[in-house]
Amino acid sequence: MTWESIPQMVLSAADRFGDAEAVVDGPLRLTFTELVERVRVAAGAFASAGVEQGDRVAIWAPNSAEWIVAAFGLMTAGGVVVPVNTRFKAEEAHDIIVRSGAKAVLVQEGFLGLDFKAPPGVPVIDLKSGFLASGSPFERKVTGDQVSDIVFTSGTTGRPKGVLMTHAQTLRLYAEWCDLAGVREGDRYLIVNPFFHIFGFKAGMVASLIRGMTILPVPVFDVDHVLDLVEREKVTVLPGPPTLYHSLLTDRGSRDLSSLRVAVTGAADIPVELIRRVMTELPFTSIMTGYGLTEAGTATATRPGDSFEDIATTVGTPCDGVEVHIADDGEVLVRGYSVMRGYFNDPEATAEAIDEDGWLHTGDLGTLDERGYLRIVGRKKDMFIVGGFNAYPAEIEGFLMEHPAVAQAAVIGVADERMGQVGKAFVVLREPLTAEELIEWSRLRMAGFKVPRSVEFLTELPLNATGKVMKDLLR
């Protein structure tokens, strides 16, 4: 089925799925018909508040039914959604709200004890205030080539940049995502990934409305709460980072998780043993890993029937209409219809990211095997050179994680008089271990130039909201 815009797709869900459950959020249960009514009314509320075609509105709030109604309602009024990371402090959020030119900011008062105040001159609307229910049913004509959202990059280095994506790009890519992930009508999808990130927003909310899945939004990850929901609500689809599945394996106890069918994950390096355990000790019958980035959405994915080895160590093959190429310096380049229209109000950064042949320079380093499977080996900016040899932190971190005492590891390059640069590891331990013991253990397992020369033990690594280690803070 081809729809021109996300609102057209969402509004058609009432006819397609009717009285089936669309959203379950605590005591609130909405059918697709009820959700679509709320979306139309919210569109009217935005229009009454002065939102015109192409106007931007920020949503700075945790996953909830109201987030879904607000985002789809805003698009139905012709507006552009600007999701803001809930972990951001006021200053970081204000930077994005101001730079995006947002007409208003939707917040959830009292979440995580934070004070969601907007920059001067930008009206603040509490998502739970009744605003979304205050309009009359409304919709504007929206075309496929209009911008649907501006998602700001997670910014592990430098200032986040606003990525421009259109309705048509999103619909085509996430309809394919549904096929690759093996999700189907009637699935019950527990969305742990934040809606402010494309995993939660597009592979979550949008995919659910395309396919007719029930959305169960989770505002804060808590393993016991997630296990309770899986058991009580008979969840079938549970994507998340590798750590989520690790938690399920260790904390599941005697709970009935038999409804689980589809897992979707992604990371530079996942232990093969974890994938094997997820498939043999948990009820999942399919697991997909993929490689995606804000600037191009999901670019590659594994396919049904791929081996544990492929699922764990590669991120699959390119999606339909997407090309992947490895540059001479090892950088992963992506080209195709799903590549962003550019960075919002930043032609220089756009020209730097997308070359004249249309290739998006991802900043990731990877290899392609003879079958076309992509393997991500690290970030270009993280790579350091030890006496002429390229050292990739993601690979070294993978080795370190194999030590039974190591819970987490992050590696950076530091200056060294003799070698130019050498590795330094930041490690979170499960059990006692000295730096000397870990370095000695590493020497037996990896080439000398890869072995960290020093180790610093931390109680936790600095993470951004999407779970990436903020290496600039370690530096």
What CATH number has the domain bearing residue 68? 3.40.50.12780
Other CB atoms within 10 Å distance of the CB of residue 51: 22
List the structure tokens of 61: 């709030």
User: Edge-to-edge, what's the strand order for the sheet holding 286-293?
Assistant: 262-265, 286-293, 297-301, 317-318
- How high is the pLDDT of residue 466? 67
- Kindly report the pTM of this predicted structure: 0.87
Dump pLDDT digits (tens) for 35-59: 999 999 999 999 999 999 999 999 9
d(CA 133, CA 111): 21
Check which CATH number belongs to the domain holding 443 and give it. 3.30.300.30
Domain boundary among 323, 345, 374: 374
- How high is the pLDDT of residue 459? 94
Q: Are residues 308 and 435 in the same domain?
A: no
List the structure tokens of 276: 């094997």
Percent of the chain with pLDDT over 70: 98
Query: Longest Cα pair distance anywhere in the chain, in angstroms?
Result: 71
Q: Residue holding tokens 């039914």?
A: 65
d(CA 420, CA 231): 54
Q: Are residues 160 and 11 in the same domain?
A: yes
Q: Has residue 241 been placed in a domain? A: yes
Q: Are residues 194 and 316 in the same domain?
A: yes
Mean pLDDT confidence for 131-149 = 98
- How high is the pLDDT of residue 1? 72
d(CA 3, CA 95): 34
Domain boundary among 354, 374, 394: 374
Q: Has residue 204 been placed in a domain? A: yes
Mean pLDDT confidence for 111-136 = 89
Dump pLDDT digits (tens) for 162-176: 999 999 999 999 999
Dump pLDDT digits (tens) for 178-215: 999 999 999 999 999 999 999 999 999 999 999 999 99
List the structure tokens of 410: 């992050």
CB 326 within 8 A of CB 332: yes
- How high is the pLDDT of residue 268? 62
Question: Which of 24-38, 79-93, 94-108, 154-168 is least confident?
Answer: 154-168
Which of 261, 312, 318, 321 is closest to 289 using CA atoms? 312
Q: Are residues 348 and 403 in the same domain?
A: no
Helical H segments across 77-206, by residue range:
90-99, 167-181, 198-200
Distances 136 to 38, 48, 227 between C-alpha atoms, Å: 10, 9, 39
**Position 114 confidence tier, pLDDT thresholds 50, 70, 90:** confident
**Position 448 confidence tier, pLDDT thresholds 50, 70, 90:** confident
d(CA 468, CA 410): 10
CB 261 within 8 A of CB 285: yes
Q: Are residues 426 and 466 in the same domain?
A: yes
**In this structure, are strands 262-265 and 286-293 parallel, antiparallel, or unpaired?**
parallel
Mean pLDDT confidence for 299-310 = 94
d(CA 143, CA 124): 28
Q: Has residue 278 been placed in a domain? A: yes
The number of distinct structural domains making up the chain is 2
User: Edge-to-edge, what's the strand order for the sheet holding 322-326?
Assistant: 322-326, 331-336, 360-368, 374-379
Q: Are residues 260 and 404 in the same domain?
A: no
Q: Are residues 300 and 394 in the same domain?
A: no
Q: Are residues 296 and 184 in the same domain?
A: yes
Helical H segments across 201-317, by residue range:
207-211, 223-233, 242-251, 272-281, 308-313
Dump pLDDT digits (tens) for 437-446: 999 999 988 8
Q: Are residues 203 and 256 in the same domain?
A: yes
d(CA 472, CA 156): 7
Q: Has residue 223 been placed in a domain? A: yes
Q: Has residue 1 been placed in a domain? A: no
**Position 384 confidence tier, pLDDT thresholds 50, 70, 90:** confident
Instruction: Examine the pLDDT at 375 and tell me if it is beyond 80.
Output: yes
Q: Has residue 171 been placed in a domain? A: yes
Q: Are residues 422 and 357 in the same domain?
A: no
Q: Are residues 439 and 347 in the same domain?
A: no
32: containing domain? 6-374
Which of 280, 307, 273 is closest to 289 using CA atoms? 307
**Position 242 confidence tier, pLDDT thresholds 50, 70, 90:** confident
N-to-C CA span, the chain: 49
Q: Are residues 324 and 458 in the same domain?
A: no
Helix, strand and coil percent figures for the chain, each rounded to 5: 30, 25, 40
Instruction: Examine the pLDDT at 388 and tell me if it is beyond 80.
Output: no
Q: Has residue 325 been placed in a domain? A: yes
Dump pLDDT digits (tens) for 50-89: 999 999 999 999 999 999 999 999 999 999 999 998 888 7
Mean pLDDT of the chain: 93
Domain boundary among 339, 374, 409: 374
Instruction: Examine the pLDDT at 254 and tell me if it is beyond 80.
Output: yes
CB 375 within 8 A of CB 426: no
**Position 155 confidence tier, pLDDT thresholds 50, 70, 90:** low
- Of 247 and 358, the structure prediction assigns the larger pLDDT to 358
Q: Has residue 77 been placed in a domain? A: yes
CB 190 within 8 A of CB 263: no
DSSP 8-state secondary structure symbol assigned to residue 118: P
**Position 380 confidence tier, pLDDT thresholds 50, 70, 90:** confident
d(CA 366, CA 299): 13
Classify the C-alpha dihedral 194-198-201-204 as positive or negative: negative
Instruction: Examine the pLDDT at 156 and tell me if it is beyond 60.
Output: no
3-state secondary structure 10-64: HHHHHHHHCCCEEEEECCEEEEHHHHHHHHHHHHHHHHHCCCCCCCEEEEECCCC
